[in-house]
Amino acid sequence: MKIVVCLKQVFDTEAKITLDASGQINKQGVTLIINPYDEYSVEEALRLKEKYKGEVTVITVGSDEAQSALRQALAMGADKAVLVNPGDIELDEYATSIILAKAISTLEYDLVFGGYMAIDDGSSQVAARVADLLGLPLVNTVTKLEVADGKAVATHDIDGGSEVVEVPLPAMITSQVGLNEPRYPSMKGIMQAKKKPMTKLSLADLGLDASQVKPKVKPLSYFLPSPRQAGRIIPGEPAEAVAELVKALREEAKVI
């Protein structure tokens, strides 16, 4: 079974977000990690590979820095990595998807994984766009996956519940919390990762030019939310404190 995992490098969830002098998000000194949802995808792909044999390719659109995320996935057990470095251009979800789909179309695959969302921009649209561009059926927010006989049977979250859906392969699956517990790379895995193939591509290598990846949305400005003020600790024995709290919720905050 051949599996492709779309993987995005993102800011660490602990990262403190600041703006630089030009009002852009400050990327200096921030630790970068694999998007947590993509880690679930890598894990799921590896489990399928262990069951059925085959090959797992991880792919990212990003700068050379993103190689560390790809290496980590290789250390977990993925076989090959593809880095598409679009150079110094602005991308939106549309453009990112065009590039990803083009790159994936040069690979063989039975399944493509994406994250249900990336925790930085949180757009939750790249996987669907790639699925449409590649003509693949999509199942989002998957928490359980069984693959057999050319079909994927996925349990996935829907609003207010869950649903079991069957789609024919090849298909696009997006990972949701609960799918699995991602493994840590072993020492051996880390050593082996260094020798695994990492293909680096430019837009030109994919036969794309800048006009084909012109963004459709544009950030006009960035700003930080006004920090929440710490409120008031209500002192006293539980009964007293609770009475005071309920009064405050009613009369001051007017929320009950």
Partner 1 sequence: MAKGIWVFVEQRDGKVRKVTYELLSEGRKIVDNFGGELAAVLVGSNVSDMAASFGEYGADKVYVVDRPELANYTTDGYSNVLAELIKKYEPAVVLLGCTLGGRDLSAMVAQKVNTGLLTDCTDMYLEDGNLVFVRPIYAGKALTKVCCLDTSPIMATIRPNVFAVSEPQAGRAAEVIKEDVPPGDIRQIIKEVVMQISTRPELTEANVVVSGGRGLKGPEGFALLEQLADVLGAAIGASRAAVDAGWIPHSLQVGQTGKTVSPVLYIACGISGAIQHLAGMSSSKCIVAINKDPEANIFKVADYGIVGDLFDVVPILTEELKKVLAS
Q: Does 111 bind partner 1 (CB under 8 A)?
A: no
Span 109-138, contacts to ligand FAD by CB under 6 A: 114-115, 117-118, 120-127
Q: Does 13 bind ligand FAD (CB under 6 A)?
A: yes
Minimum Å gap between C-beta 254 and partner 1 is 9
Span 192-231, contacts to ligand FAD by CB under 6 A: 219
**Site map (CB under 8 A) of partner 1, residues 42-81, x = contact:** ----------------------------------------
Q: Which of 103, 141, 173, 196 binds partner 1 (CB under 8 A)?
A: 141
Residues 6 or more apart from 65 whose CB is under 8 A from it?
9, 32
Closer CB to ligand FAD, residue 219 or residue 236? 219
Residue 135 belongs to what H/E stretch? none
Span 29-68, contacts to ligand FAD by CB under 6 A: 35-38, 60-62
DSSP 73-122: HHHHT--EEEEE---S----HHHHHHHHHHHHTTS--SEEEEES--TTT-
Listed residue (32, 48, 60) closest to 198, CA to CA: 60
**Pick from partner 1, ligand FAD, none: which does 209 bind, CB < 5 to 8 A by kind?**
none
Q: Does 255 bind partner 1 (CB under 8 A)?
A: yes
Q: What is the rounded distance in angstroms from the CA atom of residue 180 to the CA atom of residue 166?
A: 19
Stretch that binds partner 1, among 44-52, 66-74, 77-85, 157-165 (CB under 8 A): 157-165
How would you class 244 by CB atoms within 10 Å of its CB: exposed for 0-12, middle for 13-18, buried for 19 or more?
Answer: middle
Residues 6 or more apart from 53 whose CB is under 8 A from it?
1
Stretch that binds partner 1, among 60-68, 182-190, 196-204, 223-231 (CB under 8 A): 223-231
Pull the structure tokens for residue 109. Answer: 């695959």
Q: Counting every residue, how long is the chain?
A: 256
Minimum Å gap between C-beta 177 and ligand FAD is 8
